[in-house]
Chain A
Amino acid sequence: MQYLEGRKYVVQAIFLVVAMVFGARLFYIQVLDGSYKLAADRNTLQRIVQTPYRGLIYDRNNKLLVQNTPVYDLMVVPREVKRLDTARFCQVVQMSVEEVREGLKAAKEFSRVKASPLVQNLSTPELAAIQDNLIDFPGFSIQARMARAYETQNLAHTLGYVGTITPKLMENPKYAKYQPNEFLGRSGLESFYEKQLMGRRGVKYRMVNVRGIEKGAFRGGEFDTLSVAGQDLHTSIDIDLQQYGEMLMAGKRGSVVALDPKTGEILACVSAPAYEPAALTGKGMGNRYMDLLNNKERPLYNRPLGAPQPPGSVFKLVNELVALQMGVVSPATGFPCNWSLVKCTHRHEYPSNVSIAIKNSCNPYFYQVMRAAVMRGRSRNRFEDTRLGLTEWRRHVMSFGLGDKLGVDMGSETKGRIPTSDFYDKLYHRRWTFRTIYSLSIGQGEMGVTTMQMANVLATIANRGYYYTPHFVRGIGNSGPLPEYQQRHYTSVAPQHFEEIIPGMQEVVDGRGGTGNFASLAQFGISMAGKTGTVQNPHGADHATFAAFAPVEDPKIAIAVFIENAGFGGNSAAPLASLMIEKYLRGKVVRKKWEEWLPGSADRFVSRHH
């Protein structure tokens, strides 16, 4: 049997081969392949993000506008829900059976073992009603978090709102750090200053066991970071003025923008129709949002920044300034009020100089001013001459901050439009002349200007030639004025030309028979320079505009008012702007007649005029 002894080596070899395979395999999964370590961390490490305290928002007088308040979400872990007494549960949470069913279904689809919100944004009293009964409903729990609370019923468009992040926003690299269902500023300042308001998230690493139960800090909290509260926003808004403006604009569609010309600070920014900012927070926010979204008056639309309109006669000021700068007219230039060229608004004295023309808002006069500025005879070709002329004219116009974004700290800002020669080439296949574009001279036609831009033009005139970028926020946290808003933007028009048109603008308000007489604040010794406008509207009643600044000698406020379908600007827009200026400069309003007259539907102003 000796020969069988060799077989012991075979057995030993089998043992050894298996041991070596194990050693090699273990070396591979333990030392070479790092993926198991990651998988182990995924198993046991839970990253808990602590949302920082969101920054507050103040007005220019340090009045608190937006703060935070604790709200409560009713969370549900579907797997832990046992024998739910649906009828009683519905009664306790004040929801219909369908709502509860749908909510539970959605929660199940999200996860059976993780908590997801069934009802969000319960207030403290609402919580109290639910909390005592919660013990009877296993699987449901309360989670507290901070939500926005508003100290004002106004300024909704500017403030914006805070809501959960959408899947579309999550794709934006800017929001890469956000978790699903996390809250962020969705519009207005809340969105534009999201980064500053948000602060820095804190992160805690916790170890959990297989059932997700916490088992203490990871490595004694070595990698944990504390959250840093968001910074406060100090806005330039005068909330009293804002409230007053919204009150006056009640029942109408349109916008009002008031600026401090010396700084570019936005004092008031009214978009009508408005809504209360609190509508977009708290329980039922989703439904209220949908109601606002589907409202045909479009209350969510931020009109002063997002709705370019033809500026109407107010634009005549820019037209005149450009022509003065080009040297094609002088303040003393007179043009006949020739109705064959273009109709005038009314019969008035002969426009023998620019002041009379402005005071009466003479359409033929400014038609001829712009023709002089555009048709310079630089080409014998009529079409070419117009094209060259318009291009140069446009360049001057755009130096007023028109036709492009001003750089306001608001995401919803639009460019408006000052049409280019190319634009008309496309529209008219290169066959167009001054006769085609003359409407621009009186702020009509293919031109689009936002109320913000209009107010900024008035601030520029008030400053005699430059403007600061209009802005809502004067300071973030403890930091002072932001450098980008301290830079002067000069127009291409020399300062003396501004002086040349201001007397006419004063005549509009205070001169006998001026189109903006309703705006006069002469009784208080406040001088005002302004311009009315009536924007032709092919779809309905004309839009009323008025833009002004005051006092003329030391401008403290520049304002632009745009009221849709309110007819002649002097009737509605002018007194409204005047009340705003009175309110801002005097702190109170004594002309109750106008104050009672203005709020309400815009239709009335139209009938008065005819």
Chain B
Amino acid sequence: MPSLPARYSRSIDWITVGIYLLMVFVGWLNVYAASYSPDAPSNAFSLSFSELMQFNWFKQILWIGTAVVLIVVLVVIDYKAYDTFAFGLYGGMIVLLLVTMVIARPIAGSRSWLELGPVRLQPAEFAKFTTALAVSRFMASTNLRHQHWRDHLVLAGLTLLPPLLIIASNETGQALVFGAFLLAYFREGMSPLILIVLAAAGAILILALLVPKLWLVGAFTVMLGLVFLFNSRVLRHHLPLALSVWGVVIGMVFGVDFFFNNVLQPHQRKRIEVLINPSADPLGVGWNVTQSKIAIGSGGLVGKGFLEGTQTKFDFVPEQSTDFIFCTVGEEWGWVGSLVVIILFMTLLARVLYVAERQKSVFGRTYGYCVASIIFFHFAVNIGMTIGLAPVVGIPLPFFSYGGSSLWSFTTLLFILLAIDAYRKQDLVR
């Protein structure tokens, strides 16, 4: 048996590691640009440690350094531990979420941050990988196609418990991420109908807000009627189903207002209103979206250049080194730079999917798909939010946004997969 380092160097997926390092580096460059102040002393070496700690770019260096240590630990741990302790980690995380809710000081309205001396951590970030491990473990022990309805319930419970706790601590954005698991379940055999119905429901909700309701109902009725005219056999056989779908859609269209006004909280309602009409709240939530679009839109084809972004440098964009880090990319590197970042994400996701597909175990594969889905969800919602295609949901851009919790959580998520992947041959042998 070769020595430990030699074993890793042979079996670790270096391509993923390369993409990861590239993204973290590009991310850091943009955090530097976003937290760069032209008034500050130009020579960073003349500053004391405590002075440096005022800058996000410096703290991000510390986060990246610790992330590297974390990677080594994650890979050295026996891969079987992730499988074995999946439920244990999950249970521990549930306890941690509960504890956090009780002891955390409210920060910006949410009780989700644990303070350990100078370090602030958000357990919700880490609930993603523990949940991913748990559901993968569960998935490996059952079969979604032929499973008992009780298994369905258990899986739903496993998936929904963490987000419910996170919602209770007022971090709705982080809770929505757990919706991404549906993609992994789909790969493992979940009925596509669930995805279709959810997508259709989302589309109907948005249309109901955009288009007069009677038009929508009329258009849908006409569509059903046309199906009946041209393919009468389908409708004759499925008439009760067609009628009930029609009824549900009508109900949803007219139920939107109720959902909108009575279920959503005012700030959530506002975020959706702003998505449809950014001038609805120009100085409140709309400000973020408007300024974010201005920053990105003013970047042009090739951007204003590194450290030359005026909108970000002069604080027009809020949360510019965390949730709105993509504004710095868009403004300073333009469309070309934005596209490079998008391609980086697509490459990483494609590689993760590839790694997932080559797993021989259901556990490994499901976990791989969970990783891809979670990263994708963050990517889609975060960038979508900065360019006005998604509501403002406070979730970071993986590997780019400043912050220890988010960097550690995504690093853990990704490198557990690489650790599992590194041993896949042994798995086969076993």
Contacts and interface: CB of A to CB of B under 8 A. Distances in A.
B301 A31 contact: yes
Given A15-B349, A209-B314, A30 B187 contact: no
Contact of B300 (A4, A19, A30): A30
A35 interface: yes
Nearest to A18: B380
A333 to B, nearest CB: 85
A35 B293 CA distance: 11
Contacts of B311: 40, 43-44
Contacts of B268: none
Contacts of B297: 29-30, 33, 35-37, 39-40
Interface in B289-318: 291, 293-301, 310-311, 313-316
Contacts of B187: 4, 7-8, 11
A11 B190 CA distance: 13
Interface in A203-217: 207-211, 215-216
Interface of A: 1, 4-5, 7-8, 10-12, 14-16, 18-19, 21-23, 25-27, 29-31, 33, 35-37, 39-41, 43-44, 207-211, 215-216
A210 B314 contact: yes
B297, B311, B343, B384 interface centre (most CB from chain A within 10 Å): B297
3 closest Cβ contacts across the A-B interface? A36-B297, A40-B298, A209-B314
Contact of B183 (A14, A21, A208): A14
Interface stretch (B22-30, B158-166, B330-338, B403-411): B330-338
B222 interface: no
Q: Give the dominant DSSP class at A's interface.
A: helix
B342 interface: yes
Contact of A11 (B183, B310, B316): B183
B369 interface: yes
B333 to A, nearest CB: 10
Contacts of B376: 14-15, 18
Contacts of B188: 4
Contacts of A216: 38
B189 A4 contact: yes
Contacts of A208: 314
A30 B342 contact: no
Contact of B353 (A11, A210, A211): A11
Nearest to B187: A7
B298 A37 contact: yes
A209 B38 CA distance: 12
A39 B310 CA distance: 12
B389 interface: yes
Interface string B224-266: 0000000000000000000000000000000000000000000
B346 interface: yes
A472 B82 CA distance: 98
A30 B38 contact: no
A31 B314 contact: no
Contact of B316 (A19, A23, A25, A44): A44
Interface string B253-293: 00000000000000000000000000000000000000101
Interface string B142-185: 00010000000000000000000000000000000000000100
A7 B350 contact: no
B342 A25 contact: no
A537 B298 CA distance: 73
Nearest to B334: A30
